[in-house]
Amino acid sequence: METTRIFLDQDEIPRRWYNVAADLPEPLDPPLGPDDKPIGPDALAAIFPASLIEQEMSTDRWIDIPEPVLEKMYLWRPSALGRAVHLERALGTPARIYFKYEGVSPTGSHKSNTATAQAYYNAQAGLKRLTTETGAGQWGSALALACHQFGLECTVYMVRCSYQQKPFRKVMMQIWGAECISSPSDRTNSGRKILAEQPDTSGSLGIAISEAVEDAATHDDANYSLGSVLNHVMLHQTVIGLEAKAAFAKIGVQPDVLIGCAGGGSNFAGLVFPFIPDKLAGRDLRIIAVEPWACPSLTQGRYEYDFGDVVGLTPRLKMYTLGHAFIPPAIHAGGLRYHGMAPLVSKLANLGLIEAQAKHQVGCFEAAMQFAKTEGIIAAPESSHAIRAAIDVALECKATGEPKNILFNLSGHGHFDMTAYQAYLAGELKDIENAVIGV
């Protein structure tokens, strides 16, 4: 029998995060303020604690994970490194398909890795409440639990189309004591402005971010928390790739292809960043970020400075972007509906160290169905993009006869996405063509 799960012992878990900023061939372009000048730490102090601002700007290669964060995070970690033997057999590929499964966290996705750290640092800094946005609801759930664990209140602005598609995500947040509000809302100036201009909008992450940032900036005892895009979020997610490396080392295997779906870039970064030094040292490693065709920032966006939110409240970040006013179509992979890509991921793409692919949603659901039937796990619609790409590479290997080792990040489960699977099974799911014409 083939080994299908490789486990780490508790004493083999990573105790430090890996910061890829230390190893970039050229430095990251700094965030810019309203005066077009690089912002200093002070500009972020209204919404982030000093400890996270320091991590945001750090070029230290390794950063210790505080003990209380480890204690909470290792309620569900280490996650096993899976091998999809049954999928391999169904495909008839000589490739070996490995996956890191992040759906084992209590909230069902990788988001809890950074939520735990962010709640901890904000509680340490004496804050009472965190505000945030959520697309599909995974991030809102993750922050709700983390805030509860560290004694903070939590206010979540949830993108309207997801709020309607996934009502049980709201209940989940409420179980852990968070307040969940449909965005755009009448709670903030940003929300009221959008409601007046576009009453029927499906909402977007960019709008919800404007609301959450405004809420935090206008309340002294509240800070803002972002579930992706920023450097410190990428940093916190590197436990995924570090664990994967340790598990591969145990079985003496090296991956040849790394794959992650990419919305803001954090689960992709978490998996692949710890392998970037190997790639820079000359190892033959193909690294693929997979985004939805309907929101293709890396494959069709421009590499330029842009705001992180719709209204323009945030500093401007150098990233691949479709423009901060871009409202993506209401595809089911709600967590991938963001107009920009993390500056660190954008930089690596710009340097040619990683490649990007855009996939249509029907093909992604087909891949997720094949995965569910062979491996049993029902993936999040976001993660289905990574499965699609992994299967495509495995089929290329079948054509060439190459027995490559493929590793993809299975960023979350799809247990709250049954309406999406229902639509797929009923043949009602459609691909969105030409979503970005005119951008």
Ligand X SMILES: *Cc1c(COP(=O)(O)O)cnc(C)c1O
Task: Quote the tokens at residue 337.
Answer: 């509906």
Dist. CA 429–CA 154, nearest whole Å: 34
C-beta closer to ligand X: residue 382 or 392? 382
**Site map (CB under 6 A) of ligand X, residues 403-432, x = contact:** --------xx--------------------
> What span, in angstroms and rounded, lies between the C-alpha atoms of 146 and 176?
9
Tokens for 323, please give them.
């423009």
Rounded distance, CA 350 to CA 344, Å?
10
Structure token digits, residue 200: 């029927």
**Smallest gap, in angstroms, from Cβ of residue 342 to ligand X?**
7
Strands 81-83 and 96-101: antiparallel
Quick one: 145 or 261, whose CB is closer to ligand X? 261
Measured from the CB atom, the residue of 261 and 311 that comes closer to ligand X is 261
**For ligand X, which is the closer residue by CB, 139 or 421?**
139
Q: Which residues contact 26 (CB under 8 A, 6 or more apart)?
A: 347, 351
Compute the CA torsion angle 167, 171, 172, 174 (nearest 10 deg).
140
- Confirm or reject binding of residue 228 to ligand X (CB under 6 A): yes
CB of 326 to ligand X, least distance (A): 16
* Beta carbon of residue 153, minimum distance to ligand X (angstroms, whole number): 22
Alpha-carbon span 297 to 341, nearest angstrom: 6
Nearer to ligand X, 19 or 93 (CB): 19
- Give 93 or 204: the residue with its C-beta nearer to ligand X: 204
Among 82, 184, 263, 343, binds ligand X (CB under 6 A): 263
Paired with 290 in beta bridges are: 261, 357
Query: How far does Cα 300 stand from its chain's mean position?
Result: 19
173, 290, 378, 380: which one contacts ligand X (CB under 6 A)?
380
State which of positions 135-174 bind ligand X (CB under 6 A): 136, 138-139
Binding mask 243-262 for ligand X (x = CB under 6 A): ------------------xx
Residue of the chain from 336, 368, 420, 435 that contacts ligand X (CB under 6 A): 336
Which DSSP string do the residues of 317-330 spell out, in sequence order? Answer: EEEEES-TT-----
> Which chain residues interact with ligand X by CB under 6 A?
109, 111, 136, 138-139, 228, 261-268, 335-336, 380, 382-383, 411-412
